[in-house]
Amino acid sequence: MGTVAVFVGLDYHDAEVQVCALDRHGQQLCNRMVANDWQSIARVVGRYGDAVQAALESCSGAADLAEELVHKAGWSVDLAHPGFVARMKQNPDKTDYQDARLLADLERVGYLPRVWLAPEAVRELRRLVRYRQQVAQRRRDTKLRIRALLREQRLAPPPGINPWTQAWRRWLVTDAAWSAQGRWVVSRHLRELDRAAADLREVEEQLETVTADDPDVARLQAQPGIGPVTAWTLRAEIGRFDRFRTGKQLARFCGLSPKNASSGQRQADAGLIRAANPQLRAVLIEAAHRLARHDPRWRALGQRLRQAGKPGSLVAAAVANRWVRWLFHQMQAAAPAA
């Protein structure tokens, strides 16, 4: 039984999974809905063979199921890129039955557009990093609401008092001429701001604890201009640098490569490609601004591009692209030999 190859497509849902099994010739062995747990899925497929190669689209919860099937059922499991799989469909209709069959067939013929199945430690770090991003966004939104309220009530601090300092906050609470309801609302905003700041400190302490012994985070923070937040984000979203063949491939994964929009005699770029986690790209663009100000090598590149008439946004993207490609080689050279 162990010599019988089975190719399986899994269309993932919260409660159930559509399971399609094919033999090596593409003959359908089963295509049915099964409870969303690895034992039920393995039991159904196990009737047809033990040498299982499975595919499921990358989505929320799919990585955990894939890891269970790999380590507990002994399967070979690939995560598929849902966008590319959708483009490969030749039918405008969408059903779970068809989707599972397509995944199984793509796995069988070797055309599945694969994505990396991150190990549990990296997925756990991503949860922390993305939670930190949510807390930071909450703090940012609260600050914007306070600024909007100040504009609405036409209030401005005295000259020499900078926003978000202790002096500015004392003025905001005691001296600003708020209306009765405006004072009540801003006091609630300040309370939200304090809560977000406390949450941010807590999650950053947790991140420091979790990554204290992570050599990749240490190597990233050793790079000029890279602080802990950038290092945490790169480690969580990229995972392993050695899963990329070239620095150019890594830059494309990070969404920092220009998109070609040429046709006929017209040669043009259309901005950056739409790829990667948006927060990853934002963190890298922010890092590029710091590097272009403080690191001689990248400052020289930025100056050359500005002298060529390139806008600031393009300069930052170009510096980020070149820096990521350079970082790829630094991380490869620093990685311990396998």
For the whole model, what pTM was predicted? 0.87
Strand bridging mode 258-260 / 269-272: antiparallel
- Sign for the CA dihedral angle at 310, 311, 316, 318 comes to negative
- 217-239: average pLDDT: 94
Give the mean pLDDT of the chain: 91
At 1, the pLDDT band (50, 70, 90 cuts) reads very low
Segment holding 103, helix H or strand E: helix 96-109
Q: Is residue 222 part of a domain?
A: yes
pLDDT surpasses 70 at 188? yes
Same domain, 31 and 91: yes
pLDDT surpasses 70 at 286? yes
The token duo for 110 is 């070797």
Q: Is residue 337 part of a domain?
A: no
Read off the pLDDT of residues 52-76 as tens digits, 9 standing for 90 and up: 999 999 998 899 999 999 999 999 9
Return the pLDDT at 265. Answer: 66
What DSSP letter does each residue of 18-85 carry, written as one string? EEEEE-TT--EEEEEEEESSHHHHHHHHTTT-SEEEEEEE--TTHHHHHHHHHHTS--EEEEE-HHHH
What percent of the chain has pLDDT above 90? 81
Return the pLDDT at 179. Answer: 95
Same domain, 238 and 322: yes
- 258-265: average pLDDT: 70
Residues ≥6 apart with Cβ < 8 Å to 292: 298, 299, 301, 302, 315, 316, 319
Which residue among 60, 89, 115 closes a domain? 115
- 220-226: average pLDDT: 91
Name which of 61-65, 87-91, 191-195, 215-219 the model is least confident about: 87-91
Return the pLDDT at 202. Answer: 98
Max CA-CA distance within the chain?
81
Domain range for 162? 120-210
The total number of structural domains that make up the chain? 3
Which residue among 210, 238, 267 closes a domain? 210
At 336, the pLDDT band (50, 70, 90 cuts) reads low
The token duo for 172 is 């905001």
